[in-house]
Structure 1
Amino acid sequence: MINIADNLRLVNNQIIAASSKTTSSTSKVSLLAVSKTKPISLIQQAYAAGQRHFGENYVQETVEKVQQLAELTDITWHFIGPLQANKTKLIANNVTWVHSVDREKIAKRLNQQRDINITPLNVCLQVNISGEQSKSGVAVTEVAKLAEFINNCENLCLRGLMAIPEKTKDKIAARDSFRQMQTLFNQLSHQYPSVDTLSMGMSNDMDIAIECGSTMIRVGTAIFGARS
């Protein structure tokens, strides 16, 4: 049987250990528990163990989980998956964060559809840092333009950058991608005071990501177990 509390403790200890080895991280590194495809019961166990931030990848599943756990008012939901234009309305008012904004059309729709009576939607730009054709994300050369557009959206709050670098066992290559993200993040944070989040790094590469300034680690399997 999966012990969610123990798994969370282990992952958080890994984050603390990695953070203690570097001076790059200027703020506490937070843990985003990626709960996609996982049952409500496991999310409830993680919540009971103190976890409050959860990440989901699929629109309909996200909405269903938000509604089923509506009584847990201090949960913060993050949408981290690809977002199509015809699905933005479902996401705009059901989550607090969207990490995967990669074009103006998506940002514009989220801005228009976000209820003006709730706080602005926190947004990270997803950057295709490895330049993979099969992967979502804004090109490095287009980051500044998209950031400016989002910053001018009254119902959105520009919070930072997110990336899923190309899978590789080459630590030098991985570090290079993370360093590029760190450079982009530093440039953006100097320009926009609201930018404070660099969402990058997962179970297998969190040490390198934290070394390169990540402020948010996204972990699923190490907490909830492999997909069934």
Structure 2
Amino acid sequence: MSIAENINEVRQHINGYCRACNRDPSGVLLLAVSKTKPPADIAAAYHAGLRHFGENYCQEALIKQQALGAYNITWHFIGPIQSNKTKLIAQHFNWVHSVDSVKIAKRLHEQRPDNLPPLNICVQINISNESSKSGITLAELPELCAAISEFPRLALRGVMAIPEPQTDFALQRQPYRAIVQAVKAIQRPELTTFSFGMSGDLEAAIAEGATLVRIGTALFGRRKT
């Protein structure tokens, strides 16, 4: 299948999952995870209607951004953030989904150019407490959100999570539900973005309120080795 056909199929899945839980499909943004994919694949997805693309690696993303400069793409950084990469991220991305410390937030704020709009920020939650993943605990969420809100070059928008993989639908839903409840409890109206869900738990994420889903292989195919 072509990339355009894959996109159509994924959208049909999203629409079906939204109908099943009485949600409007327009409330779920499809973020194409384009890491390791060439600019030609991103261009094909763009021509098929996608505008939001997620990258994990800064240097790789910059090459693609230069190649695709004529396209009106919104670029999301979704990978772990190294301190020595914050300047490039602050200069070249519209969104960052993986902020997990005041230190990183402060660097992004200080390095965001004045001529650009505030950098959209999602706080990464390590909901499964996995040592291999970045992110904060739910208990740390109020303090980090309060700190980010003090940085005028950052716009606090929501949260991101990658729970431990589960095959049971009910177990897939639990971590997302816990995050949504925690966000509601801290009463920050600006937290409207829930960056939840990938191919394996898309239905559960949408059922629990995902407003942005991150899909890669189902759109672009498996990485060529």
The normalised TM-score by structure 2 is 0.95
* Corresponding residue for residue 54 of structure 1: 53
1:83 paired to 2:81: yes
Deviation of the 1:25 alpha carbon: 7.0
* Corresponding residue for residue 99 of structure 1: 97
- Greater relative contact order (Cα < 8 A, sep 6+): 1
- Counterpart residue identity of residue 159, structure 1: R
SS in 2 for 1:204: helix
Unaligned runs of 5+ in 1: none
Unaligned runs of 5+ in 2: none
- Counterpart residue identity of residue 78, structure 1: H
Cα distance in 2, alignment partners of residues 89 and 210 from structure 1:
33
Tell me the alpha carbon deviations over residues 17-46 of structure 1, each in whole angstroms, 9 at most, x when there is no partner: 111111467961110000000011100100
* Corresponding residue for residue 201 of structure 2: 205
Moved more, 135-144 or 118-127: 135-144
* Corresponding residue for residue 161 of structure 1: 159
2:14/2:25 contact within 8 Å kept: no
Alignment of 1:59-70 (within 5 A): 59-70=58-69
Cα distance in 2, alignment partners of residues 141 and 183 from structure 1:
12
Hey, which bits of structure 1, 4+ residues long, moved more than 6 A?
24-27
SS in 2 for 1:93: helix
**Which of 140, 145, 161 is residue 138 of structure 2 equivalent to?**
140
- Counterpart residue identity of residue 135, structure 1: K
**Which of 115, 126, 129 is residue 128 of structure 1 equivalent to?**
126
Cα distance in 1, alignment partners of residues 40 and 105 from structure 2:
33
The normalised TM-score by structure 1 is 0.94
2:54/2:78 contact within 8 Å kept: yes
Cα distance in 2, alignment partners of residues 69 and 181 from structure 1:
35
* Corresponding residue for residue 4 of structure 2: 5
Q: CA RMSD in A?
A: 1.5
* Corresponding residue for residue 214 of structure 1: 210
SS in 2 for 1:210: helix
Tell me the alpha carbon deviations over residues 159-214 of structure 1, each in whole angstroms, 9 at most, x when there is no partner: 000000001223222211111122123335x32x3221000101121111000000
Aligned length: 224
SS in 2 for 1:168: coil
SS in 1 for 2:104: helix
Tell me the alpha carbon deviations over residues 128-152 of structure 1, each in whole angstroms, 9 at most, x when there is no partner: 0011111110111101100011111
